[in-house]
Structure 1
Amino acid sequence: MPVTVSRRSVDDSLAGNVIARSLSQRRFGPQLEPAGVLVVKPSRFCLMRTRMPRHTVKTPPRNGFSLVEMLVVLMVMGLLATVAVLTMPGDERKLRDEAERFAARTLAARDEAIIGARPVSLVVSDRGYYFERRFQGQWQPLPGRGFDLTGWADGTTANAGRQRVVFDSLGLASSEAAVRLTRDGNTLVIHLRRDGKVTLDAG
């Protein structure tokens, strides 16, 4: 007697076989996706073996000094210079102060010649020094504090003769000059160069 099998029962049987085979493949091995792509899931052990070690990159050492280090060095140098000046004998320190004051006023007069675009002169002698400016065809006292007649301090002798040095509008000196100051056996020489610079040297 022929057995009649319905189409629905066949479809249900095939679906059950497909599901069972899919579960078996997922549990025990690789699976074949419907698109035909073989997917292999690596185990945890493989992931641990293939992990690349991390290497720390060392930054190369910096050359030179930082801004803070330079400021510290400058501060230390300033302190040492201050200590050196304070430890000088009294007469030597007074002589240096007077020479530096004369040099600073000379440079200030040179700047006046450049700013005002007119000649300014320094007149120096054994008794002292003063500054003048050329105005309306004649020399007149240069206005400003420290530019009038200033005598050398008591105890300081100068060997300068009488000299007139003129600064032009570019700050250049008409001639070179040297002023030798002496105090209690200590000597300093102030040199005025043609380029307008002033230097101090031990005598």
Structure 2
Amino acid sequence: MARSTSSATARTASRTARGRMPISATGNKRDGERGFTLVELLAVLAIMGIAAAAVLFAMPSQSTEARSAAARFASAAEAARDSAILASAPVAIRVDRTGYRFERWEGGAWTPLSRKPLQPVAWPEGVTTRIDPAGERIRFDATGLANPVSVLLSAGGVTARVTIDAGGEVTLVA
């Protein structure tokens, strides 16, 4: 029968045979053990993700450009209609590929307007327009009635439409 070595008095190797227990003091690592901890890497990834999201949301996309340009144009058309009613004088919007501007019928001729909110506006870069039916002016008479028109704004494959009916009602379909 073999002797058991699991007792409290069992013989073990000498202290010199066992060697020293490896202890790593702060800043005293060997070359192969240098690097970043998992917590440090996750913190850096979280910071990079937050920064990337902030940049992404700060940059306007072309799809939002078309929609926001259409919303601004619809608001401007409503302001032109209201101005025509308040002044009891026809107001027109001239739309072209660069932007739109406002005019008022005074003294037998169209006079450009340049006061807020009827200031000339340039389309944002990348926005294209199409007017149906094509014509010189979108006119609002002194009672707010208009010549019916549809203005289509496109950017980045996204389109938005502003329609003005004969009653002067402005509708945005984005």
TM bucket by the smaller chain? Answer: 0.5 to 0.7
TM-score by length of 1: 0.52
Partner of 1:144: 115
1:113–1:169 contact (8 Å) kept in structure 2: yes
Partner of 2:158: 186
Q: Which of 124, 127, 130 is 1:153 aligned to?
A: 124
Q: What residue identity is the alignment partner of 2:173?
A: D
Q: CA-atom RMSD, angstroms?
A: 1.9
Partner of 1:126: 97
1:172–1:196 contact (8 Å) kept in structure 2: yes
Instruction: Give a deviation string over 1:140-174, Cα, whole Å, max 9, x none.
Output: 0124124233221101111225431221111010x
Q: Which of 61, 76, 92 is 1:90 aligned to?
A: 61
Instruction: Give 3-state SS (helix, strand or coil) of 1:163's partner.
Output: coil
- 1:122 CA drift (Å): 1.2
Q: Which has the higher helix share?
A: 1
Q: Which of 145, 150, 164 is 2:137 aligned to?
A: 164
- Give % identity: 37
Whole-angstrom CA distance in 1 between matches of 2:160 and 2:114: 28
What runs of 5+ residues in structure 1 fail to find an aligned partner?
1-85
TM-score by length of 2: 0.60
Partner of 1:117: 88
Instruction: Give 3-state SS (helix, strand or coil) of 2:125's partner.
Output: coil
Aligned residues: 114
- 1:127 CA drift (Å): 2.4
Partner of 1:108: 79
What runs of 5+ residues in structure 2 fail to find an aligned partner?
1-56
Higher radius of gyration, 1 or 2: 1
2:160–2:173 contact (8 Å) kept in structure 1: yes
